Amino acid sequence: MNEKEIEEKPTQTNEIQWEIHTTHPDQVKALREKLSEVSDPEIGLNIIQLGLIRRVSIEGDQATVYMVLTTPFCPYGPALVETARAKAVEALNMDVTIELGMEMWDFSFMEDPGALDWGMYT
């Protein structure tokens, strides 16, 4: 393969817009950074890249994070949920409740479609 045949694919992310993007925009960056430290050990991507954090809201001094897992019986589910909660507490400096959704995760949830280029999912 020569240089002309190699094309760089543009990096595009599909950042999920949470309620706090509007209500507490100053909190978004810190929360995303902390939650990016939580990785799914089986897939090797973090929970932000996978799009597992679906909604985040803050009311008073209480935050609620709604997340899903990649599979309903994810063996790392309890650890992912607790680690996500702890990282959210660090970022937001307030109590955080994690609500676990039961909808089925699929690739369209991913914020980082470039991860698909690994060949894992084809």
In angstroms, the CA 10 to CA 114 distance is 9
Looking at residue 74, its pLDDT comes to 87
What does the DSSP assignment read for 21-64?
Answer: HHH-HHHHHHHHHHHTT-EETTTTEETTTTT-EEEEEEETTEEE
Q: What is the pTM of this model?
A: 0.83
Looking at residue 108, its pLDDT comes to 87
Looking at residue 107, its pLDDT comes to 86
The pLDDT tens digits for 53-86 are 999 999 999 999 999 999 988 899 999 999 999 9
> What is the mean pLDDT of the segment spanning 88-114?
91
Cβ(68)–Cβ(36) under 8 Å? Answer: no
Domains and CATH numbers, the chain: 30-104 (3.30.300.130)
